[in-house]
Amino acid sequence: MELSWNWWTALSHCSRMLWHPVMRRLPSRVSMQPFWWERIDAAFLVGAMPRKEGMERKDLLAANVKIFKSQGKALDQYAKKTVKVLVVGNPANTNALVCSKFAPSIPKENFSAMTRLDQNRAQGQIAQRLKVSAADVRNMVIWGNHSSTQFPDASHATVTLDGKTVKVTEAVNDDAYFGGEFISTIQKRGAAVIAARKLSSAMSAAKAAADHVRDWWNGTPEGQWVSMAVLSDGSYGAPLDVMFTGEA
């Protein structure tokens, strides 16, 4: 992997186990030059027009088509055909679809959009309510799209309480909560973050991206699943040829 000086320095400070194969590169400017794309195994596409207070993800669409069209073309021309592409920049589902359309030589199943932040938020909400670690909450699913149209689903989620695994819905025992406040809180969480800090999520989004690619790369333990947006094959009644979020 080749990185600009700023990224190289920041990552070196993390002292992570996978640091060894990362190499430093000092280009004069960020560009679509081949060396940015040729050797990558995983592409994290985070460069999008930032979402501001009062904006929905759809408001970013026009500005981002140009960005993800150019990135798709660069991937198509230079990247390995095995590269896994995670789109983080919002509206992530649509941006991922645009990017894939302009990279026809890369398999469509190699493109995904990040819903893991929404999943992590949902699991965090349950963890706070039950006073457990978020790691004890599993199998939360986000369905559909991002933002205000997503559907966080706890019906199959489990939680470990006192050494026993039980259904989240049974542990919380509040149908009204799951049918109302739980859903609206997750749907509006991104807007709430922007209203509070005048910027979109940063650290939590980076953590979610790392979680997403780790599980995409390595798979999940038997009986566990995560949420990510992939190109629909018609499963769950979703329309074909759209990026649809569900369990993976």
Which sequence positions are flagged as catalytic?
146
Q: What are phi and psi of 95, to 5 degrees?
A: -60, -40
Query: Which CATH number fits the domain that encloses residue 174?
Result: 3.90.110.10
Q: Is residue 107 part of a domain?
A: yes
Co-location of 47 and 103 in the same domain: yes
Co-location of 96 and 151 in the same domain: no
Better pLDDT: 142 or 189: 142
> Each residue of 175-230: pLDDT tens digit?
999 999 999 999 988 777 777 777 677 788 899 999 999 999 999 999 999 999 99
Considering the entire predicted model, what is its pTM? 0.83
Co-location of 131 and 182 in the same domain: yes
Confidence bin at 14 (pLDDT 50/70/90): low
Co-location of 101 and 153 in the same domain: no
Co-location of 162 and 89 in the same domain: no
Q: Is residue 138 part of a domain?
A: yes
Q: Are strands 158-161 and 227-231 parallel, antiparallel or unpaired?
A: unpaired
- Number of structural domains in the chain: 2
| Token output for 38 | 């040729």
Co-location of 123 and 75 in the same domain: no
- Boundaries of domain holding 151: 115-200+228-247
Q: Is residue 160 part of a domain?
A: yes
How far is the CA of 13 from the CAs of 7, 18, 67, in angstroms? Answer: 10, 13, 29
Q: Which residue has the tokens 């970013």?
A: 60
In angstroms, how far is CA 188 from the centroid of its own chain? 16
Q: Is residue 131 part of a domain?
A: yes
Partnered with residue 151 across adjacent β-strands are 143
Q: Is residue 106 part of a domain?
A: yes
| Token output for 78 | 């230079």
Give the angle 65-71-73 at the CA atoms, nearest 5°.
Answer: 100
Co-location of 56 and 127 in the same domain: no
